[in-house]
Structure 1
Amino acid sequence: MELRQQRFQQTKLDTIEKMEPMEKKDAEISGVIAPPPPAAAAGGATPTDAESEVEDYERQARELKAGLHPLKHKFVFWYTRRAPGVRSQTSYEDNIKTLVDFSTVEGFWVCYCHLARPSSLPSPTDLHLFKEGIRPLWEDAANCNGGKWIIRFKKIVSGRFWEDLVLALVGDQLDYGDNICGAVLSIRFNEDILSVWNRDASDHQAVMALRDSIKRHLKLPHSYLMEYKPHDASLRDNSSYRNAWLRG
């Protein structure tokens, strides 16, 4: 227990250190935070993207002024507890509950320390971590053209891999980070399943780079198989994890 506490505290410090260069750079530019990039203000992005970037900069400015360590993105934890059986779209949406959101390193650790550990969650349960504004649904506008990488774990080790994945996602450590929507831990009877959702299933380079980045950050043993499934395929067969079409 003492060793795990030491690892936990060191991971916390490492996460804060990864955010500090951004804080220092932004503070040097404007005293608080850098202005939005020209592309966002000059039409280089869609209006929705531009508005989102401005909101992120304003949020980070407030958090820096308060002495906090802002994350690149604001995140939301969601929770789904449903009865076993066929997935009904209406019932699935009704069962998704928002737990908490956070946008700073400090806010993340406050939230994470109070979340139940995966080993204590009943089956079937889904725990979702997604960027703000993206619902953990195949049909969401940010997800509908994308897909997910799938990894199956024995229940005894899934909690550790989930924690490492959460830290990599929150710390923006995975390659093609802007293409990532979120991650899901699915607690099942005989195994637990981790999945990382991305925006564009047709971008083969981004999909494969994300696979390699996940393997690297999780230090995934070679014996573990990763599968990829587009969300439109999930819609067709009404299944999250069956019939994945790409393996790696």
Structure 2
Amino acid sequence: MMDTVEKKEIEAKAPSVPSTTPHPQPAASPAPPTSGGEVDADGEAEERERQARELKSGLHPLKHKFVFWYTRRTPGVRSQTSYEENIKKIIEFSTVEGFWVCYCHLARPSTLPSPTDLHLFKEGIRPLWEDSANCNGGKWIIRFKKVVSGRFWEDLVLALIGDQLDYGENICGAVLSIRFNEDILSVWNRNASDHQAVMALRDSIKRHLKLPPSYVMEYKPHDASLRDNSSYRNTWLRG
């Protein structure tokens, strides 16, 4: 979550929202990609041009453009074709103002049917294990009681769009999975073999979500998910 100084910097021009809701910090010019990043020079130039346009318009650009996706899962065995057909793009945004406009109109997690997935990914990355940005990566998984999942999901969304998590260029997106007895948050990263980046992301998630010590985080590479056709079973426990 942001401190008071960061919040005040963007509240002047951000859309009016309840005072109890934190605001994400607009990003400055893009930082060079870390070892886990795959951002090319053309992509960086396009991002800089986008941010310059938005700043000129009096908006607060985010470091990355994001897309919300929605999946209403159907019973049965998952196949790539059936899963892709169920993924629906909701809306994209690239500024603080654009985020709040769409986020305030999204259904709250507590009102979503089970099983449902809500995805937030950087533009150009589909929420699929097979996507080129995801196929060599994996995800950190946290299971929550349904009464608290909405708050943790919002905190995670704000940390993600505000580029507050460590090794941010190695992050692809996040997913909220609504299930019958629990809700599951997952953060996807590009490179499952980069142990330093994977463990730094775990620690950063714990820190920003202020997770109690009783919460156990699990990690699973996407190639393992492809092999056993499961998102959340047979995970690697990492504490």
TM-score grouping bracket, smaller chain normalisation: 0.7 to 0.9
CA-CA distance at 1:164 after TM superposition: 0.2
Give the SS at the match of 2:120: strand
Cα root mean square deviation, aligned: 1.9
Q: Please tell me whether residue 7 in structure 1 is matched to residue 20 in structure 2.
A: yes
CA-CA distance at 1:245 after TM superposition: 2.0
Q: Please tell me whether residue 197 in structure 1 is matched to residue 188 in structure 2.
A: yes
CA-CA distance at 1:129 after TM superposition: 0.1
Q: Please tell me whether residue 236 in structure 1 is matched to residue 236 in structure 2.
A: no
Within a 5 Å distance, the mapping from 1:59-138 to structure 2 comes to 59-138=50-129
Amino acid corresponding to residue 109 of structure 1 in structure 2: W
Amino acid corresponding to residue 148 of structure 1 in structure 2: K
Amino acid corresponding to residue 6 of structure 1 in structure 2: S
> Sequence identity of aligned pairs in percent?
82
Q: Deviations over 1:140-165 (max 9, x none)?
A: 00000000000000000000000000
**CA separation in 2, counterparts of 1:147 and 1:140?**
12
Alignment match, 1:54: 45
Q: After the TM superposition, which segments of 4 or more aligned residues of structure 1 sit over 4 Å from their partners?
A: none
Task: Mark the runs of 5 or more structure 2 residues left unpaired by the alignment.
Answer: 1-16
More helix per residue: 1 or 2? 1
Alignment match, 2:207: 216
Task: Mark the runs of 5 or more structure 1 residues left unpaired by the alignment.
Answer: 27-35
CA-CA distance at 1:98 after TM superposition: 0.2
Amino acid corresponding to residue 201 of structure 1 in structure 2: A
Within a 5 Å distance, the mapping from 1:139-218 to structure 2 comes to 139-218=130-209
CA-CA distance at 1:19 after TM superposition: 2.4
Structure having greater relative contact order (Cα 8 Å, sep ≥ 6) = 2
Q: Deviations over 1:41-81 (max 9, x none)?
A: xxxx98x7111101101101110110000000000000000
Contact 2:26 2:95 in 1 (8 A): no
Amino acid corresponding to residue 157 of structure 2 in structure 1: V
**CA separation in 2, counterparts of 1:155 and 1:246?**
22
**CA separation in 2, counterparts of 1:153 and 1:189?**
12
Larger Rg: 1
Give the SS at the match of 2:26: helix
Aligned residues: 220
**CA separation in 1, counterparts of 2:181 and 2:18?**
28
CA-CA distance at 1:7 after TM superposition: 1.2
**CA separation in 1, counterparts of 2:181 and 2:148?**
13
CA-CA distance at 1:206 after TM superposition: 0.4
**CA separation in 2, counterparts of 1:163 and 1:132?**
19
CA-CA distance at 1:83 after TM superposition: 1.5
Q: Deviations over 1:7-66 (max 9, x none)?
A: 11xx12xx2xx327x3xxx6xxxxxxxxx99x89xxxx98x7111101101101110110
Amino acid corresponding to residue 154 of structure 1 in structure 2: K
CA-CA distance at 1:6 after TM superposition: 2.8
Give the SS at the match of 1:222: coil
**CA separation in 2, counterparts of 1:245 and 1:163?**
25
The TM-score normalised by the length of structure 2 is 0.88
